Amino acid sequence: MSELIGYAGRIWFVNSVKFLDHNSADVYSYDPVSWRRKQRIGHRKAMVDIPGGAFLMGSDDGEPAERPIHRVVLSAFSIDRFETTNAEFGAFVSATGYVTDSERSGVGWDWDGKWREIKGADWRRPHGPASSILELERHPVVQVSWNDAQAYCRWRGKRLPTEAEWERAARGSGDRTYPWGNEPPRYGTRYRASYGSDKCCRADAGDGYFFTAPVGSFPLGRSPFGVEDLAGNVWEWVQDWFDPGFYRQSPAASPVNNTMGERRVIRGGGWGNNPSGLRSTLRHANPPEIGLSMVGFRCAR
């Protein structure tokens, strides 16, 4: 039996036999080999309710794809408090037999001086065959494509958030640079996010983690609504196709770009980015069929 310990108002488990199913309402025990749930052992509130309303999206001071700043009105929605973890994705794979895009193609993308395809990299081996997610159950799953993320969210009765929903969850109604405000990610000797340095992407910023961090490790970085890790740790897939000019023509009410393109939007920055890469308005994108070691996701409803 695992000893339960308290940490920042949540429940962690000291080994891999039992741990928190972060983005469901329940706490389960797991078989660490098969990833199968064994029994329900607790209950928690794991989604954050975001009220409907108006906010300012984008930035006139950022990259061209972030412009112009514009008013958006959204209906109320809920979003996962944490990024989807290896444990949660493993339970999905165990229950459904799902095979990810990286597993089918035999390659995933990792940083080795530059982004390149690595044979044998997938969600179980995020940096290639010599790597592992052993003892990383609470870390965000990576090497998952947009297709994989969408499949997981549907299995959970959820969906990926739209780009507008993601930014609303990160910024609230204010014009802030990061989810926590305008201050840099480092606060004296304390950190608000898992991120890198100016020497992207294998330079440690001193946050205590070389790559990903366990979800919820940086409570100082919560958004105005209490959503965690919306800056740093991993980039997050959202629903929209990427169009660098979409903001110039997007509707004010519940915008989402469903016009098919070549890439899907990712948001939030990751473990290798410098502080500028963690800005809540920054828009990047990747092809929907590839997995990368710095990209994960969370679900909405």
pLDDT of 48 reads 98
Which one, of 265, 264, 271, 48, lies nearest residue 169 by Cα?
A: 48
pLDDT of 1 reads 25
pLDDT of 31 reads 55
pLDDT of 188 reads 79
- Domain positions in the chain are 48-296
pLDDT of 63 reads 97
Which one, of 161, 163, 159, lies nearest residue 150 by Cα?
A: 159
Q: Which helix (H) or strand (E) holds 148?
A: helix 146-155
From residue 18, alpha-carbon distances to 43, 81, 134, 214, 258 in Å are 14, 20, 14, 15, 40
Judge whether 297 and 149 are in contact, CB under 8 Å.
yes
pLDDT range class, residue 209, cuts 50, 70, 90: confident
Please give the average per-residue pLDDT across 152-165, as a whole number: 98
pLDDT of 34 reads 53
pLDDT mean across residues, the chain: 86
Number of CB atoms found within 10 A of residue 126's CB: 27
CATH among 3.20.20.10, 1.10.630.10, 2.40.50.140, 3.90.1580.10 for 48-296 = 3.90.1580.10
**147 vs 35, more confident:** 147
pLDDT range class, residue 54, cuts 50, 70, 90: very high
Which one, of 36, 28, 143, 38, lies nearest residue 96 by Cα?
A: 36
pLDDT of 38 reads 45
Task: Reply yes or no: is the peptide bond before residue 201 cis, omega within 30 of 0.
Answer: yes
pLDDT of 22 reads 55
pLDDT of 29 reads 47
**pTM, rounded to two decimals:** 0.86
pLDDT of 227 reads 98
Q: Which two tokens stand for residue 105?
A: 């193609």
